[in-house]
């Protein structure tokens, strides 16, 4: 762990940017068709439950990151194995998000640029930020929080003015029933982006005042859940469920529909900015958690030494994980969800929390 402190406000903004990150631009939970907004809100509610688990774990060990307290909970050996798994998970997901980001840029803006170049430029920036530490990332999030929000507001207002929203496209509500919604929630929207907050178990200990973790985290979850539901709902209301479900980036198509007064059109650049800002924070937070985790696990004093080797590994991993876009997406929806998100975001943290609770009760009894 580095010696750093961030405020609750910074944590809140960082979490918001992290949540919006790629979730805002990808077709999130579109299998729910016109009820996608409902699927996201349900995902948020259950995501709140997961966040509570991470928070409880943190209250037992307020000064330790996940990789340290896992060793306290299940013993040194198993704890280290767990920590290693988590560190690899964080690094792998940061490579995945980096790939997402590169693929998106390549598809619509830079068709002739090699993926490696785009990913490399992004990764260099992320590596620099991580090298500088969590305080710098947190301060950057304060800056970008407002710019991102401003862009979102502007886009939203323009869409309304352009008169493209037709709420009838959101009807009929619950055409396939609740079971279908929950199927989408438990296979998609719960894990990305809400369950991904598990990475913040590495960042909570940096908070100045630990009692504010719950409030900041919960508010961030709530706000980003509502925002994402609104964004996807807006996409459906503008484009219709069918186009949204076939689109690689629905938000881009929605923004392209804006046509105000014959000159405010083709505002794709708004989408670009949102994509790059969100991508930076998502890759950055995952990568930071990975780097800090490795340093913590192997008891390195200066985590900075790890930034370059691990950064370059992540960069090459992002190119190697899939040979095409379809494969990348399929892996993300099927394999990663079942074999990584479900155990690492849900099963193991709940399991650890139960053990920690039992242990602490025993301790209390002994203390008495």
Partner 1 sequence: MKIKRYPFLIFTLFICTLLFGCWSKKELRDLALIIAVGIDKKDGKYISTFQVVNPGNVAGATQRGGGSTGLPVALYTSTGDTLVEASRKASKQISRIPYYAHTNLVVVGEELAKEGIQQIFDVVERNPQFRPTANIVIARRQTAKQLLSVLTPVDKIPANQMIKTLELTEMMWGENVGTRLREVIESFSLAGKEVIMSSFHVDGNRKHSDDQENVRTMEPTARLRASELAIFKRGKLVGWIGKEEARGVLWILDKIKQTAVTVDWKGEKEALSYKVVRAKTKVTAQLRNGKPIIFVTVETEGDIGETFVAIDFTDPKQIVALEKVMQQEIKAEIEKAVHVAQKKKSDIFGFGEVVHRTYPKEWKKMKKTWDDKYFPKLDIQVKVESFIRRTGLRTRSYIQ
Which is nearer to partner 1, 82 or 158 (by Cβ)? 158
Which is nearer to partner 1, 124 or 143 (by Cβ)? 124
Contact 293, 145 (CB under 8 A): no
Q: How far apart are CA 272 and CA 250, in angstroms?
A: 13
C-alpha distances (whole Å) from 357 to each of 57, 64, 211, 346 are: 9, 16, 19, 17
Query: Is 141 exposed, middle or buried (CB count within 10 Å of its CB: 0-12, 13-18, 19+)?
Result: buried
Q: How far apart are CA 215 and CA 362, in angstroms?
A: 29
Half-sphere exposure of 157 (CA within 13 A, CB side): 7
Is residue 305 near partner 1 by the rule CB under 8 A? no
Is residue 361 near partner 1 by the rule CB under 8 A? no
Cβ 113 to partner 1 shortest distance, Å: 4
C-alpha distances (whole Å) from 254 to each of 28, 230, 244, 249 are: 14, 13, 9, 9
Is residue 121 near partner 1 by the rule CB under 8 A? yes
What is residue 48's three-state secondary structure? helix
Is residue 312 near partner 1 by the rule CB under 8 A? no
Q: How many residues make contact with partner 1 (CB under 8 A)?
A: 25
Helix and strand numbers, DSSP H then E, in the chain: 15, 2
Is residue 128 near partner 1 by the rule CB under 8 A? no
Is residue 339 near partner 1 by the rule CB under 8 A? no
Cβ 256 to partner 1 shortest distance, Å: 6
Is residue 367 near partner 1 by the rule CB under 8 A? no
Cβ 34 to partner 1 shortest distance, Å: 10
Cβ 121 to partner 1 shortest distance, Å: 6
Paired tokens of 99: 């790939």
Which is nearer to partner 1, 172 or 367 (by Cβ)? 172
Which is nearer to partner 1, 168 or 362 (by Cβ)? 168
Cβ 326 to partner 1 shortest distance, Å: 14
Task: Build a one-symbol-per-residue string for 98-117: x at contacts with partner 1 by CB under 8 A, - elsewhere.
Answer: ---------xxxxxxx---x
Q: Which of 175, 269, 327, 358 binds partner 1 (CB under 8 A)?
A: 175
Cβ 175 to partner 1 shortest distance, Å: 5
Contact 216, 8 (CB under 8 A): yes
Q: How far apart are CA 38 and CA 172, in angstroms?
A: 12
> DSSP string of 95-112?
HHHHHHHHHHHHHHT-TT
- Residues in region 228-287 near partner 1 by CB under 8 A: 239-240, 242-243, 253, 256-257, 259, 265-266
Is residue 171 near partner 1 by the rule CB under 8 A? yes
Cβ 164 to partner 1 shortest distance, Å: 9
Cβ 171 to partner 1 shortest distance, Å: 4
Q: How far apart are CA 236 and CA 34, in angstroms?
A: 6
DSSP secondary structure code for residue 174 in this structure = T
Is residue 327 near partner 1 by the rule CB under 8 A? no
Which is nearer to partner 1, 118 or 140 (by Cβ)? 118
Half-sphere exposure of 17 (CA within 13 A, CB side): 33
Which is nearer to partner 1, 239 or 294 (by Cβ)? 239
Is residue 330 near partner 1 by the rule CB under 8 A? no
If phi > 0 it is left, if psi is from -120 to 50 it is alpha, else beta; for residue 177 that is left
Angle 213-239/36-60 helices, nearest 10 degrees?
Answer: 170
Which is nearer to partner 1, 168 or 215 (by Cβ)? 168
Indicate if the alpha-carbon torsion angle 136, 115, 30, 187 is positive or negative. negative
Which is nearer to partner 1, 219 or 243 (by Cβ)? 243
Is residue 168 near partner 1 by the rule CB under 8 A? yes
Q: Which residues bind partner 1 (CB under 8 A)?
A: 107-113, 117-118, 121, 124, 168, 171-172, 175, 239-240, 242-243, 253, 256-257, 259, 265-266
């Amino acid at each position: 762990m580095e010696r750093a402190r961030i405020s609750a406000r910074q944590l809140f903004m960082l979490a918001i940017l992290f949540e919006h990150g790629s979730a805002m631009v990808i077709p999130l939970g579109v299998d729910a068709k016109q009820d996608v907004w409902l699927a996201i809100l349900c995902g948020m509610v259950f995501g709140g439950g997961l966040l509570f688990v991470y928070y409880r774990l943190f209250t037992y060990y307020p000064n330790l990151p996940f990789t340290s307290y896992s060793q306290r909970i299940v013993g040194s050996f198993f704890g280290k194995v767990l920590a290693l798994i988590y560190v690899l998970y964080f690094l792998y997901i940061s490579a995945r998000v980096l790939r997402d980001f590169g693929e998106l840029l390549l598809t619509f803006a830079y068709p002739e640029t090699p993926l490696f170049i785009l990913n490399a430029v992004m990764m260099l920036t992320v590596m620099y930020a991580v090298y500088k530490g969590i305080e710098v990332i947190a301060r950057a999030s304060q800056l970008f929080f407002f710019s991102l929000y401003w862009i979102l507001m502007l886009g939203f207002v323009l869409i309304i003015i352009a008169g493209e929203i037709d709420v009838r496209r959101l009807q009929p509500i619950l055409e396939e029933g609740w079971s279908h919604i929950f199927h989408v929630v438990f296979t998609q929207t719960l894990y990305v982006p809400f369950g991904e907050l598990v990475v913040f178990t590495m960042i909570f200990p940096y908070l100045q005042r630990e009692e504010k973790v719950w409030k900041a985290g919960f508010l961030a979850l709530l706000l980003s859940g509502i925002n994402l539901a609104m964004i996807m709902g807006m996409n459906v209301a503008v484009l219709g469920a069918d186009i949204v479900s076939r689109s690689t980036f629905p938000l881009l198509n929605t923004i392209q529909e804006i046509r105000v007064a014959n000159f405010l059109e083709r505002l794709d650049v708004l989408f670009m900015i949102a994509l790059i800002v969100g991508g930076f924070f998502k890759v950055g937070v995952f990568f930071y958690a990975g780097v800090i985790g490795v340093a913590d696990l192997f008891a390195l004093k200066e985590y900075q030494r790890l930034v370059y080797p691990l950064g370059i590994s992540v960069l090459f991993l992002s190119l190697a994980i899939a040979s095409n876009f379809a494969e990348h997406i399929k892996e993300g929806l099927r394999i990663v969800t079942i074999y990584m998100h479900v155990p690492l975001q849900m099963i193991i943290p709940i399991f650890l929390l139960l053990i920690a609770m039992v242990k602490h009760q025993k301790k209390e009894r002994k203390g008495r």
